[in-house]
Structure 1
Amino acid sequence: MRSKLSRYMINLEHFATVVEYGNISAASSVLGITQPALTRSIMRLEEVVGTQLLHRSARGVSPTECGKAMIDHIHAAESELNKALAVVQAIRGDNEGRISCGAGSVSMNHILPTAVSRTKRRIGKVQFNLVEGRTYELLYKLQNCELDLVLGIEQADGQFADLISERLLEEEFYFCVRAGHPLASQSELNFSDLVGREQLVMPVLSSSPVERALNLELSRHGCELGDNRVETLSHAVMRHLVYEDDYIAFCSSIWFRDDIRSGALKVLKGDWDFPQFGTLLFRRSGDVTTPWLSYFINEIRSAAVELRSGAENAAPRTQKVVS
């Protein structure tokens, strides 16, 4: 049975446009209708759903709680319609599409360049929108149909249990220094001294599984991170500080895999122990997979296999020293 809202698609479009611009005047101009007509359209939609959808003030309009819920579903419906169009285009043989992919820094720098390049060579007209960010923020966008897939660190809290995922590779977090660093030749280093006194450069770990693992280790040793540290998502900044200013990098094994393999960077060992972290490919359950998205996902898998093989040869897993 068709939803009664399906008869009010134009009203839903009007409502979404008003929310997007936050102003009746601006929205009416974009839609090409008068302000009174747009106001009547929104009021009619509110009558149909039986509740107020907009807060109105002299400064403009904003969605109510019910309005926000409605917007989320409008965006999801729009995404599904775009997928339907993509499927029709695929059936017609059109070799054109759009893929929106979110990724953390490791995947963005070490998996996606290869996967995108190979996909573009095979499917020239496919368009890519690549968004870098923290995994949990990207997964919210995936849930809201703003992204088609996300590559990021495994989430342990079950908050995104409605998404499907597959494991691409495992990564570890190391303390690394350049080969000539004074600590490079030392063994059985002390975790408390390392994080409390030395110059550290590390990724921004806010609300990530890596941050939770680091906090557990800090708690176990009864210490805190020192103030003499730099947090960054920039690989270039981290590399400069390590090689030019003798900083100690707390980083993914994949970030500097070639440097570790060549011996330019040394992995420090001591009385700490961090688990491995899984990099996963996340998608929405039940999504239609277009031919170009399927091809892209296969290229992501291939790039991850190659990266995993290289990372496994870069350095052995650090061993915990029992005191």
Structure 2
Amino acid sequence: MDIRRLNAFVKIVDIGSITRASAILHIAQPALSQQIAALETHFGKPLLLRSKRGVVPTEAGKVLYRHCQLILKQMDQTELEIASASEEISGVVCVGLAPLGLGSLLAAQLIKTIHEDFPGIILYINENVGGGAMSELVMTGKMDVALLFDPGNLPSLSFKRICTEELHFVTADTALLDGLTEISLVDAIATPLILPSKIHTIRQVIDTTLARAGLTKRAIAETESISVLSNAIGEGLCATILPQSAAKAVQRRIPEARSVRIHKPNMKVNMSICVSAQLPLSEAAAVVQDHLTRLATELSV
């Protein structure tokens, strides 16, 4: 099996067009079509469905695409490790930090630690996708390790529980929390709130708890951005509900903000380190996983 054929197949599926893939890969379109035909002959099944709007993988093509992701990543890791054999640990490591989680507190420390101890490692930190999308990126090999809200058991993934955090009410209205160390859910939702989107684990926990209590709450806006939340809270526009670690991240930006535990009922979320259960980690990724686990564990104590 020619690895170039697999790479071409992945590029075509990613782009959705043989013509555009041909231009990007600098391969003549007839030659590229021949490579796909050779793959279809090898596997004995059609791999792409062609139409005027482009191409999409067949069911067999989807299976091949998934395995190609693993094979190509392993090839990249092999080439990198061979090139750096007997040298310092190096390579690019993609790290996912779920929005509104512990990552808000530890990202800078992770960068500092890796830079000082392993200068050959370059971190690519992604905080712009949700936990479900991060899980899929880890599963397909596009992300090495992630710190995310635990989605439960998923095939092909390995999770290590780091902590369980209670949700807190966060506001800059100090008079609202005067003398309080905790607040009821009913009182918390009596104020205007900006909340994560409905696909975020935090929001799902909040909505499920509200439904069980026979309550409803409409957020004035939705975001997973700490900076947007902090600015809105600092302007006095709203309050929010976050895990304690994310609440601390807001308080770093808005010193006057306060957070108190929500009770009656209380709400909890779990955070875990996620890696592929099938793809071996590169030496650099294993180092980053160890440091990420240590930092997250220390912060959660």
What's the TM-score once normalised by structure 1's chain length? Answer: 0.80
With over 3 angstroms needed to count, the CA separation of the structure-2 counterparts of 1:90 and 1:225, relative to structure 1, is: same
Which of 239, 242, 247 is equivalent to 1:251? 242
Q: Which residue of 1 aligns with 2:297?
A: 305
Larger displacement relative to structure 2 (164-173 or 287-296): 287-296
With over 3 angstroms needed to count, the CA separation of the structure-2 counterparts of 1:238 and 1:60, relative to structure 1, is: closer
SS in 2 for 1:69: helix
Amino acid in structure 2 at the alignment position of 1:250: I
5 Å matches for 1:4-153?
A: 6=1, 8-105=2-99, 106-132=101-127, 133-153=129-149
Counting matched residue pairs gives: 296
Which of 207, 230, 237 is equivalent to 1:239? 230
Q: Distance in 2 between matches of 1:129 and 1:69?
A: 28
With over 3 angstroms needed to count, the CA separation of the structure-2 counterparts of 1:207 and 1:68, relative to structure 1, is: same
Larger Rg belongs to: 1
Q: Distance in 2 between matches of 1:90 and 1:290?
A: 12
- Note the aligned Cα RMSD (angstroms): 2.8
Alignment deviations for residues 186-242 of structure 1 (CA, whole Å, 9 cap, x no partner): 6886534542x421122335152x334323321232111135x33221222222333
Q: Distance in 1 between matches of 2:161 and 2:263?
A: 29
Q: Distance in 2 between matches of 1:39 and 1:257?
A: 54
Q: Distance in 2 between matches of 1:193 and 1:140?
A: 37
Q: Which residue of 1 aligns with 2:194?
A: 201
Q: Distance in 2 between matches of 1:107 and 1:269?
A: 19
1:60 CA displacement: 3.0
Q: Distance in 2 between matches of 1:179 and 1:25?
A: 57
Q: Distance in 2 between matches of 1:11 and 1:51?
A: 16
Sequence identity of aligned pairs in percent? 20
1:52 CA displacement: 1.3
Q: Distance in 2 between matches of 1:124 and 1:22?
A: 38
Alignment deviations for residues 154-205 of structure 1 (CA, whole Å, 9 cap, x no partner): 113x3x143112222332211133362335346886534542x421122335
5 Å matches for 1:178-197?
A: 178=172, 180-185=174-179, 191-192=185-186, 194-195=188-189, 197=190
Is contact 1:19-1:63 (8 Å) kept? yes
Alignment deviations for residues 273-318 of structure 1 (CA, whole Å, 9 cap, x no partner): 213x221111112543433223222321332233224xxxxxxxxx
Q: Which residue of 2 aligns with 1:320?
A: none
Alignment deviations for residues 222-279 of structure 1 (CA, whole Å, 9 cap, x no partner): 111135x33221222222333331622211111233749x88514165532213x221
Amino acid in structure 2 at the alignment position of 1:294: A
1:141 CA displacement: 0.9
Structure 1's unaligned 5+ residue stretches are: 1-5, 310-323
1:145 CA displacement: 0.9
Q: Distance in 1 between matches of 2:276 and 2:211?
A: 36
Q: Distance in 1 between matches of 2:162 and 2:184?
A: 33
Q: Distance in 2 between matches of 1:212 and 1:19?
A: 33
SS in 1 for 2:40: helix
